[in-house]
Structure 1
Amino acid sequence: MKLGGEIEKLSEDGLGVISNVYIPFSYPGDEVVVLRTTRRFGRKIAVDFRVLRESPLRKRPRCGHFGKCGGCLWQGLKYKEQLRLKAEAFERTTGIGADIKGSPRVWGFRNVSNFIVTSSGIGLKEYGNPFGVVDLHECPVFSKKTPEYLRSLRAFLVETGLESWDLKKKRGQVHYLQVREGKFTGEVMVNLIAHIGPQMEVLEAFKGYFSFADSLYWSLKQDKRDDPRGDARLVVGEPYIRERIEGVTYLLHPNSFFQTNSYALSLLLKAVEDFTDGVKVLDLYSGVGTFGIWLAKRGFNVRGVELNPFAVEMARRNAEVNGVEAVFEVGRAEETPIGNYDTVIVDPPRRGLKEAGELLVKSGVENVIYVSCNPRAFKLDYENHLKKTYRVEDAVLVDMFPHTPHVEGVIKLRRKG
């Protein structure tokens, strides 16, 4: 039975909604008819629909894969409308009204892309289909060089005869190609994630087809999970590539997390800096030192705590490269003694602070900066823990993820008097 009407609202994850049916790639003001749905995660999702009348919020998408690829739900929206809708969604979820800073670039801004290599295609996952892959030939949000990267990969696979991964049967040899770009340095890292180690002739072909890379890795993947992770082994070139954000250098490695939008990162870093009080700063969930190194470069006394030992090693290298004396240690955030700090920065995983929230409540810290791309997690942390002791003093949003419903929030919390 057909269902139709005008999209009046968007769900939290950016889908158009009509009568409890969720419609991807549709926007407020679109008039649509839904022909077929499927049930996923307890919701009815439209898998076949037609737009009868387009919303005035729409614009022509740049990518030819839009509407199928799961990477860009909002590429059909005018950018100023994307920003407005993100700010409204953040306020709906958290109750906080905040200014939003748009990304300086909305094309070619991503500094990393993970192309899945499967028997049904090479590229990115199809939206709403766990076994569907969009066979990419371009990705304008990542890089203008995407066609070159993909041509090299396809030619390499043809020459070597290596078997692509079968998503349903969970078997194969090559699973992902990860490409990182230093947007401000021009350096390129290529990392092949495979379920086998390379033979000598395969390695020679690999080096030949990706000779443009400054850093070339082969990662041995020993599990069947569908993620671009493995034991990274340097094949040729530099062990790291560099990204430079307004005078601060960050080293990038296949196994280290780094914010994906190099152009908007300076806006995020400056927002954190502007909210930082005093001199002594504790950076919880410090990762590779993204915030800590930036602040240390500007004269703050920084101590970082991070659970992942490899990330701590990278943070220490970043401190050395930038000539700063920030201290980074391995530790659990919820077990970290909070001493006499002027500001604590928390950038927790998507699940939020959980127990670490109580640690902050019991501390004497006046100023907390909460950084998150998950406003629902912030709301839970604030309502369940932080609200006992802290009030929201200020907030700013930074659009690190153009053409998606996601946004990065920076919230300044002040201890109640």
Structure 2
Amino acid sequence: MARIDQTPFLLDILDLSHDGRGVARREGGKTARESGKTVFVAGALPGERVLVKQTGRSRSFDEAVTLDVERASPDRVEPRCPHFGTCGGCALQHLEESKQILAKQRVLLENFERIGHVTPESVLPALTDRQWGYRRKGRFSVRRVEKKDKTLVGFRERDPRFVADLQICHTVIPEIGERVEALSQLVDGMDARREIPQIEFIAGDDTIALVFRHLAPLSETDRERLVAFAQTHGFAIFLQPGGLDTVHALWPQAPSLAFRLAPWDVELTFRPLDFIQVNQGLNEKMIARALELLDAQAGERVLDLFCGLGNFTLPLARGSAHVVGVEGDAGLVARARENAVHNGLTNAEFHAADLAQPLAGQPWARQGFDRLLLDPPRSGADAVLKQLPLKGLKRIVYVSCHPGSLARDAGYLVNELGWKLRAAGVMDMFPHTAHVESIALFEP
């Protein structure tokens, strides 16, 4: 393959892509194929004229990075983070915060139109919460770089082959984000600094846990270093020498991880690698909206698919409906059952099932339900929607972390089964990233 020409050139930015890059058309290229070709430009906003350098090439589009902004958008702001543009953790810090959520709303509506061929009857007001210091769960990559004579701890760079050299992260909760450099120094001082590929973090209301993945046994000195770090900074430390089942506490001996959903008087306990919603404030607003849209009445039966720890199930149960939660991860199901007992809820039951597989043998799938709540992974819920007996359901509320799969599934419900897409809207679970979280209401 021929080398990419690195000569800077000017582009007028026409649009914003789903991943937060500017979209332009390359005019006056050196070849006929280059002229009119789409270019995705990191760090550029619609309406801007920017000087760019090409970084990638494919048959249908090119990629570039902004070198200089000759004509700035009125929506452009100074990124808060010194690592923005290098670190791949954020894509939109240069876009004014109120405009970020509007861009995400446009992505959702365009996906509905382009993929699902549907249009919601109404657009829900966007849900937002704190913009900074919100992320309570994540994974840092770790790499010892001999040329720099240091150990890097951070998210991947935009070029995912590299780990960003972070000193601070403003989107992560301050207890973690302000200690990235301290984590780097901790690992760099360990005997096993070349044997630690990642550190996961997760925060409950009272305890913040760090999980150190290590590829070789730790020396006693390294274990003492980790304990000292935990005691100094107030962390719980877990070690992961192998698979998920090898995670165990180093210090303290039995740390307790939990968070409260105060509006429903519910407390969810969890383990350090469990899935929890990353943005605590937005999570409570999302639950409130989901319950409002679902509008379950006393005595009704609600099915909650992809239920995890019971994030929606237990608040629903608190409202006196009978709720059946189904989840593919057996460990999460066990914790959900424990959480039901912990909160004194006897009207919530949980079942383990792979919701992408045939469900004919699942007794819960043959039971009658009044309302359905879905919170699937990025791949969506098409497999389960095509198997469930949907007749008789009064409402479906679909919480989505990927607008493309939501749009596809909405197209199936509306265009093939005759449901109505009554309302849909976006929720800013991950401010400053291009991640689009959304919610949709369907009625027969």
TM-score (norm 2): 0.84
- Amino acid in the other structure paired with 1:195: L
TM-superposed deviation, 1:385: 5.0
| Mapped contact 2:166–2:181 kept (Cα < 8 A) | no
Query: Which letter does structure 2 place at the counterpart of 1:126?
Result: E
Question: What's the counterpart of residue 27 of structure 1?
Answer: 45
Going from structure 1 to structure 2, the CA distance change for 1:51 and 1:407 (only over 3 Å counts) comes to: same
Check 1:320–1:386 CA distance in 2 against 1; reply closer, same or farther (3 A cut): farther
| 2:54 pairs with one of 12, 36, 45 | 36
Residues 41 and 236 of structure 1, relative CA distance in 2, 3 Å threshold = farther
Partner amino acid, structure 2, of 1:49: L
User: Which letter does structure 2 place at the counterpart of 1:300?
Assistant: A
What does the per-residue CA deviation read over 1:274-306, in whole Å, with 9 as the maximum and x for residues that have no partner? 112333111111111111012112222111111
**Aligned positions, number:** 398
Task: Provide the C-alpha distance between the structure 2 equivalents of 1:23 and 1:280, rounded to a whole number of angstroms.
Answer: 49
CA distance in 2, matches of 1:289, 1:316: 8
Match for residue 395 of structure 2 among 358, 367, 391? 367
Paired with 1:280 and 1:119, the residues of 2 have a C-alpha distance of 53
1:260 aligns with 278
- Residue 139 of structure 1 is matched in structure 2 by 169
Query: Cα distance 1:386–1:358, how it changes in 2: closer, same or farther (>3 A)?
Result: farther
Whichever residue aligns with residue 304 of structure 2, its letter is D
Partners in 1 of 2:61 and 2:216 — Cα distance? Answer: 39
Q: Does residue 54 of structure 1 match 2:72?
A: yes
- The 8 Å contact of residues 283 and 302 in structure 1, kept in 2 or not, is answered as yes
Task: Describe the shift of the 1:41–1:122 C-alpha distance in structure 2 as closer, same or farther (beyond 3 A).
Answer: farther
Other-structure match for 1:392? 421
Tell me what 1:169 maps to: none
What is the deviation of 1:90?
Answer: 1.0
- Alpha-carbon separation, structure 2, partners of 1:135 and 1:220: 25
CA contact (8 A) 1:215 1:240 kept: no
* Offset at residue 148 of structure 1 (A): 5.2
Matching residue's letter, 2:416: K
Q: Report the secondary structure of 1:87's partner residue.
A: helix
**Per-residue CA shift, 1:9-50, capped at 9, x if unaligned?**
011222101111101122112211222221379642214632
Q: What secondary structure does 2:312 align onto?
A: helix
Q: Deviations over 1:238-290 (max 9, x none)?
A: 34412223232222322210111111111110111011233311111111111
1:192 aligns with 2:212: yes
Larger Rg: 2
> Which of 18, 21, 24 pairs up with 1:15?
21
State the one-letter code of the partner of 1:24: A
CA distance, structure 1, for counterparts of residue 177 and residue 327 of structure 2: 37
The answer to whether residue 189 in structure 2 is matched with residue 130 in structure 1 is no
CA contact (8 A) 1:190 1:213 kept: no
Gap regions ≥5 residues in structure 2:
1-6, 26-37, 113-118, 146-151
Counterpart secondary structure, 2:385: helix
Question: CA separation in 1, counterparts of 2:288 and 2:371?
Answer: 15
Task: Please say if 1:294 is aligned against 2:315.
Answer: yes
Q: Does 1:82 align with 2:100?
A: yes
Q: What is the rounded CA distance, in whole Å, between the counterparts of 2:176 and 2:390 in structure 1?
A: 49
- Deviation (angstroms), 1:163: 3.0
Is 1:110 the equivalent of 2:135?
yes
CA distance in 1, matches of 2:13, 2:314: 45
Partners of 2:91 and 2:132 lie apart in 1 by 15
More relative contact order, 1 or 2 (CA 8 Å, 6+ apart): 2
Q: Which moved more, 1:204-213 or 1:329-338?
A: 329-338
1:234 aligns with 2:252: no
Q: C-alpha displacement at 1:2, in angstroms?
A: 4.2
Equivalent residue of 1:210, what SS?
helix
RMSD over aligned Cα, in angstroms?
A: 2.2
Q: Is the 8 A contact 1:346 1:369 kept in 2?
A: yes
Aligned pairs for 1:333-372 (under 5 A) are: 333=355, 334-335=358-359, 336=362, 337-360=365-388, 363-372=391-400
Counterparts in 2 of 1:231 and 1:93: CA distance versus 1, 3 Å:
same
Once residues 184 and 386 of structure 2 are traced to their aligned partners in structure 1, the CA distance between those partners, rounded to angstroms, is 51
* 1:305-344 → structure 2 map (5 Å cutoff): 305-325=326-346, 326-333=348-355, 334-335=358-359, 336=362, 337-344=365-372
In 1, are the aligned partners of 2:169 and 2:180 still within 8 Å (CA)? no
- Structure 2 distance, partners of 1:410, 1:22, is 28
Deviations 1:198-229 (A, max 9, x none): 3333222211112234532001236xxxxxx6
Give the fraction of aligned pairs with identical amino acids, expressed as a percent.
26
Per-residue CA deviation, residues 30-87 of structure 1 (Å, 9 max, x unaligned), is 2112222213796422146322222101112111111111111111111111121111
- Return 5+ residue gaps in structure 1 as ranges: 165-172, 223-228
Change (3 A) 1:159 1:89: closer
1:274 aligns with 2:296: no
Q: Give 1:177's aligned residue.
A: 199
Distance 1:322 1:194, change over 3 A: same
